[in-house]
Amino acid sequence: MSAPVFLADPEALRSSERVRVDGDEGRHAAVVRRIAAGENVELTDGAGQLVRCTVVAADRNGITCDVDERIEVAQPQPRIVVAQAIPKGDRGETAVETMTEVGVDEIVPWSAARCMVRWKGERGEKALRRWRSTAREAAKQARRPWLPQVSDAVTTAGLVTRVAGATLALVLHEEAGRPLRTVEPPDDGDVVVVVGPEGGVTPDELAELEEAGATPVRLGPTVLRTSTAGTVAAGVLLAASRRWA
């Protein structure tokens, strides 16, 4: 079984031979995960630094680790970016969790026209914090040295800008003629996948995204929920890319 992963101070990971993990992260390791002296763990800064360690001490406030090996992990290419229409309830966190586990590099909350939920004021800030916390914990569970980025929410105009700057942009749409499995991902750059809300992408939104360079594609013969479509699409693209070769 692979060693558990915890986040640690970037400077300590770069220069220290003994690293202390305390605070909430350290207490989680020592109290919740019950990591003890003699066990192996991996520490990361979430931006490609990965340090393999042996725990030499543990108490209720954290763990102390001796460095065994340092590894610099390059940013995976191509980057998979999912623009996720904001769903209601806890389906947003479900989408973020599973997309993180499968390997999505950036999640962009999209305030689509048919979204039933609007992120405004404190409510929106709280929801965004939940998405980011979910991504952080899922990345550790998945043993990822790179944490996915959860961007600020965008309107359709902001999404059009992201699509225009992408190496490849795709819109999941049940009426599209082209299957996603026929798409060959590029070797690098951003692959942006747009996932609409439960009510679907409006004709006007689809037209704007196509004009910006996006291609409509379909996943298969069934219609998935917005909370699962992005994860499935990312898996298809990653399997076709060199990242899963």
What is the SS3 assignment for 222?
Answer: coil
- Please list the pLDDT of the chain residue by residue as tens digits (245 residues): 689 999 999 999 998 999 999 999 999 999 999 999 999 999 999 999 999 999 999 999 999 999 999 999 999 999 999 999 999 989 999 999 999 999 999 999 999 999 999 999 999 999 999 999 999 999 999 999 999 999 999 999 999 999 999 999 999 999 999 999 999 999 999 999 999 999 999 999 999 999 999 999 999 888 899 999 999 999 999 999 999 98
The answer to whether residues 103 and 63 belong to one domain is no
Note down the domain range covering 24. Answer: 5-72
Q: Are 186 and 167 in contact (CB under 8 A)?
A: yes
The answer to whether residues 135 and 160 belong to one domain is yes
The whole-number pLDDT of residue 1 equals 65
Number of domains present in the structure of the chain: 2
The answer to whether residues 67 and 95 belong to one domain is no
The answer to whether residues 51 and 96 belong to one domain is no
Global model pTM greater than 0.85: yes
The answer to whether residues 62 and 105 belong to one domain is no
Cα separations in angstroms, 71 against 44, 53, 56, 140, 145 = 10, 11, 20, 17, 10
What is the domain-level CATH number for residue 151?
3.40.1280.10
Residues 6+ apart with CB under 8 A from 102: 231, 234, 235, 238
The answer to whether residues 95 and 25 belong to one domain is no
Rounded distance between C-alpha atoms, residue 225 and residue 20, angstroms: 42
245 inside domain: no
Cα separations in angstroms, 66 against 43, 51, 204 = 11, 10, 57
Q: What are phi and psi of 216, to 5 degrees?
A: -70, 135
Structural tokens at position 105: 């590099």
The answer to whether residues 110 and 219 belong to one domain is yes
Query: Which pairing describes strands 190-195 and 79-85: parallel, antiparallel, or unpaired?
Result: parallel
The answer to whether residues 172 and 65 belong to one domain is no
Domain boundary among 72, 87, 112: 72
Residues 6+ apart with CB under 8 A from 15: none
Q: Which residue has the tokens 């108490």?
A: 59
Identify any residues that bridge with 64 across adjacent strands, giving them in sequence order. Answer: 20, 57
32 inside domain: yes
Rounded distance between C-alpha atoms, residue 47 and residue 49, angstroms: 6
Q: Is the peptide bond before 87 cis (omega within 30 degrees of 0)?
A: no
The whole-number pLDDT of residue 223 equals 85
Nearest residue to 186 via CA among 242, 108, 235 = 242
Domain boundary among 72, 95, 122: 72
155 inside domain: yes
Rounded distance between C-alpha atoms, residue 108 and residue 73, angstroms: 24
Rounded distance between C-alpha atoms, residue 143 and residue 44, angstroms: 10
Domain boundary among 23, 52, 72: 72
The answer to whether residues 127 and 183 belong to one domain is yes
